[in-house]
Structure 1
Amino acid sequence: MNIEVKNIEQTLAFARQVGSRLGGGEVFELVGDVGAGKTTFAKGLGNGLEITDDVQSPSFTLSRVYDARDGLKLHHYDFYRLGDAGILAYELAESVSDYHVITVVEWAATVADVLPLNTCVLTFSADASSENKRIIVIDNPNKAIEEAYAVWSKNR
């Protein structure tokens, strides 16, 4: 499944649609270069999950936890700076097995063996025709992605 977004607002809007459909237990791996739109997507998920805090990149803190609607939580990890996840791999393993948590992982190479087989992988890449245009390739889409994509396809 491929999605073309023309700007940051469209990335946020699509992710918000996905977030509004999440029920817990979903795992997302976000792949792409620095500045490709991974954290923007996470912010949109947060909007759809009715998170009131500002969803920020956990690049320096490695992880952030947010309270969401209906007793759910969003766990956002960024392993960019880690050569070895160490104890954070155990924390991630707990996160991905908790059905009250939506888990988002950036730069997951060091923890790939911890991610479940049903992880939805979104790969973000820039489009040379526009500074803000992105192509999002989605592998192993979950139900929330499929439903949001159906709405997205009709309304854009």
Structure 2
Amino acid sequence: MQIELTQLEDTKRFAEQLVKDIKRGQVICLLGDLGAGKTTLTQYLCAALGVNDYVTSPTFNLMNTYEGKIGGEVVPIHHFDVYRIFDADEMHEIGFDEYLYGDGICIIEWANQVVDLIPKGSIWIEMSLSLDGKRVLEMTREGENV
């Protein structure tokens, strides 16, 4: 599915729609160039999941964990930024698999850096900027359009 977002409010609405179908254990992979809106989308996803903390990109510490809610139940949301990862072994060292296959939600910016580690059933969102300034999202799951 391809979606065009012309303003921040569109991104917020998209995030609110997406989380309606989110379940524990879901992995959301975000791709796109610098400035494409990955962190902004993550902020809106976290807000839609009830996170009250200020959400920032964990570029240097690799992961931030927030407390959100799904159906009134508390759920951990693990926000990864793997831009600086070039070897999957680095991810194994921090127990990445435990997060990916746990009962929390994982949101991974620059997921293309660790594509071989991502579980089937993950949601992939590729973000780009069009020439006229719109953000374009291409969303797939396991290679199929969502």
Give the TM interval when normalised to the shorter protein: 0.7 to 0.9
Write the mapping of 1:6-155 to structure 2, written as runs, cut at 5 A. 6-69=6-69, 70-89=73-92, 91-99=95-103, 101-130=104-133, 133-140=134-141
Q: Which residue of 2 aligns with 1:149?
A: none
| Aligned residues: CA RMSD | 1.9
Q: Which has the higher helix share?
A: 1
Count of matched residue positions in the alignment of Structure 1 and Structure 2 = 140
How far residue 85 of structure 1 moved from its aligned partner, in angstroms, is: 4.1
Summarize the Cα distance change of 1:110–1:125 in structure 2 as closer, same or farther, 3 Å threshold.
closer
Scaled by the length of structure 1, the TM-score of the pair is 0.81
Which secondary structure does the structure 2 equivalent of 1:36 belong to?
coil
Cα separation, 1, equivalents of 2:51 and 2:57: 15
Cα separation, 1, equivalents of 2:140 and 2:116: 17
Cα separation, 1, equivalents of 2:88 and 2:64: 15
Structure 2's unaligned 5+ residue stretches are none
How far residue 98 of structure 1 moved from its aligned partner, in angstroms, is: 1.1
Scaled by the length of structure 2, the TM-score of the pair is 0.86
Which secondary structure does the structure 1 equivalent of 2:95 belong to?
helix
Deviations 1:102-149 (A, max 9, x none): 11111123422211111111000101112xx111001118xxxx6xxx
Q: Which has the higher strand share?
A: 2
